Amino acid sequence: METLEQPEGNESLKYIVVTGGVMSGLGKGITTASIGRILKNRGYEVTAVKIDPYLNIDAGTMNPAQHGEVFVLSDGAEVDLDLGNYERFLDINLKSIHNITTGKVYRSVIEKERRGDYLGATVQIIPHITDEIRHCIRRAAQEEVNGGRTAEICLVEVGGTVGDIESMPFLEAVRQMHAELAPQDMVLVHVTLVPADAMGNLKTKPTQHSVKALRELGLQPDIIVGRSSEMIGPQTKKKISAFTDVPVKAVISAKDVPDIYQIPMELEKEGLAEVICDYLAIENREPDTEWYRIVSREYTNRVTVAIISKYGIEDVYMSIKEALKHAGRALSTEVNIRWLDAEMFDLRDLADVDGILVPGGFGKRGVEGKIRAIRYARENKKPYLGLCLGFQLSVVEYARHVLGIPDATSEEVGPGTHVIALLPEQEGISNLGGTMRLGNCTVTLKEGTMVADLYGTTMTVERHRHRYEVNPDFISDLEDGGLIFTGTCGSRMEVCELPDHPFYLATQFHPEFKSSPTNPSPPYIGFVSACKKNKASTRAR
């Protein structure tokens, strides 16, 4: 029998692997992030890895209406939205290395085979693919994530559902890691569904079958997190324990809650921290409760924001929703979102909202509706925040209706006067994956402007995901006409404002990608604050 390789690098590093059963969409990502937050609150350095079993290299070319938001990391990696939750919950900056896909793994193995790295061996799923997966996990676990520090505990979420053919090589790699690590160095957490029948009784059979499928792959869960509409009672926990050989105290109830940031607190109440610390043989330190205080802040105000959407699925705008929530918490203001279809909404739908937000997107569908909403916000002095495409269409709208260029448009949309043009480096690109302007860029903010006041500095770093920019040939005309560009990255326009408007701000970058409960995005703080003022002034009138 072949001897398993010894663990690489930091041998004191501990792993928490999270799998899911019964069905997709159970909340493995939020569970993983919540476990990380619980440990982070106890002073442990935590990192996270997301395994996506799809064959795509990354999420960049996926239809967001099918897969949800494409989140962008600091190094430009386009990844699954769960990595956004990891960053928001854990206050860390992840990189491409922290997202492992089947496409990445197979590409790496095939490249090694072509180079002759395997010395003529027949390349197979075991050991070559599983070895590559283990190497990717270990390498990501040791990557610096914050301030030059490396993690003590690595969370690994295995995407998909136990039993999926796509997930099997990854689960086999986990089994191999589990066998070679010391018992106290890896914990297996299995998230499963505990549904209720028509009488409201919670049923354990789906969990039993899910754990059985996991065991058939050589993995025995240490902890079961049961997702349900109501709390899982002691008797149901005992039944799950009896059929799965998981101790009763390690059967954790995770009922539905109205706000995802409540989940770590709910898992704390269930004793999950003690169970994990026992398994990992680490100290169950007294938790810092500051994060819980921030996410539990009481609301004293309420505003309604219209988001002009073209995709019709809220998960496409996950980071925007969360950034509004972060700003709302900081301002003790609940933000209610009114989703409006960019192709079908009526301007009367905007009359009673407190602010208008036009998010990013691709293609020409819905563009004219977004331009109508931007014009309404500008002419009616309604607080407005434009993001990426929203920034570009703000320029188009202004060129059409203020500068008098009726055919002003974006090169992405079609013929006309292109006040928005393709980035020069995008010319001739035919490969769509990973070729946009992506990731961090240092943005210079003009002193004395609204955006500089919001950031409290004249320099900031934000993340991008776009192919088009403000056409340099029109910048002078636009500024002479009153639209002021107040943020730049090199020669590129990044922020625009209207000085004679209560709050009119649009950014080429995506400020929502860096927002978190502990560090709300400045543009969102400004926007929600302006919505509060608008609502108060409307009441006064």
**76-115 pLDDT tens trace:** 999 999 999 999 999 999 999 999 999 999 999 999 999 9
**pLDDT tens-digit map of 107-148:** 999 999 999 999 989 999 999 999 999 999 999 999 988 777
Contact yes or no for 58/434 (Cβ under 8 A): yes
Helices and strands counted in the chain (H then E): 17, 21
Helix or strand run (H / E) with residue 274: helix 272-280
pLDDT at site 315: 86
| pLDDT of res. 199 | 86
Residue 441: active-site member: no
**Exposed (0-12), middle (13-18) or buried (19+): which is 408, by Cβ within 10 Å?**
buried
Q: Please tell me the predicted confidence (pLDDT) of residue 5.
A: 46
Note whether 275 and 249 are within 8 A (CB).
yes
List the one residue out of 104, 92, 96 whose CA is nearest residue 32. Answer: 92
pLDDT of residue 10: 55
Q: Which of 12, 274, 273 is nearest to 141 (CA)?
A: 12
Alpha carbon separation from 311 to 22, 342, 360, 411, 502 (Å, rounded): 28, 9, 11, 21, 29
Rounded to whole angstroms, the Cα distance separating 192 from 360 reads 34
Number of neighbouring beta carbons within 10 Å of residue 206: 16
pLDDT for 541 equals 65
Q: How many CB atoms lie within 10 A of CB 435?
A: 13
Residue 2 confidence (pLDDT): 40
Active-site residue (options: 67, 128, 178, 510)? 510
Q: Which tokens is 308 given?
A: 């002009």
Contact yes or no for 224/251 (Cβ under 8 A): yes
Q: Taking the model in full, what pTM does it have?
A: 0.94
| pLDDT less than 50: residues of the chain | 1-9
CA distance 161 to 9: 30
Say yes or no: domain 299-540 is CATH 3.30.360.10. Answer: no
510 flagged as catalytic = yes
Q: Is 512 a catalytic residue?
A: yes
Please tell me which residue in 277, 388, 489, 496 is annotated as part of the active site: 388
For the CA atoms of the chain, what is the radius of gyration?
A: 25
Q: What is the pLDDT of residue 11?
A: 58
Which amino acid would we find at residue 203?
Answer: K
Nearest one of 267, 279, 86 to 182, comparing CA atoms? 279
Residue-range domain boundaries for the chain: 14-293, 299-540
CA distance 515 to 322: 8
Q: Identify the bridge partners of residue 369 per DSSP, sorted by sequence position.
A: none
Indicate the length of the chain as a whole number.
Answer: 541
- Out of 78, 172, 494, 512, the active site residue is 512
| pLDDT score recorded for residue 7 | 44
CATH class name, domain 14-293: alpha beta
465 contacts 510 by C-beta, under 8 angstroms = yes
Cα 351 from Cα 492, distance rounded (Å): 34
The residue ranges of DSSP E strands in 109-209, in sequence order, are 153-158, 186-193
Identify the pLDDT of residue 63: 83
Rounded to 5 degrees, φ, ψ at 477 are -60, -40
Q: Which alpha helices (H) appear in 102-167, and where do they start and end? A: 102-115, 130-141
Asked whether this chain's domains 14-293 and 299-540 adopt the same fold, the reply is yes
pLDDT recorded at residue 432: 81
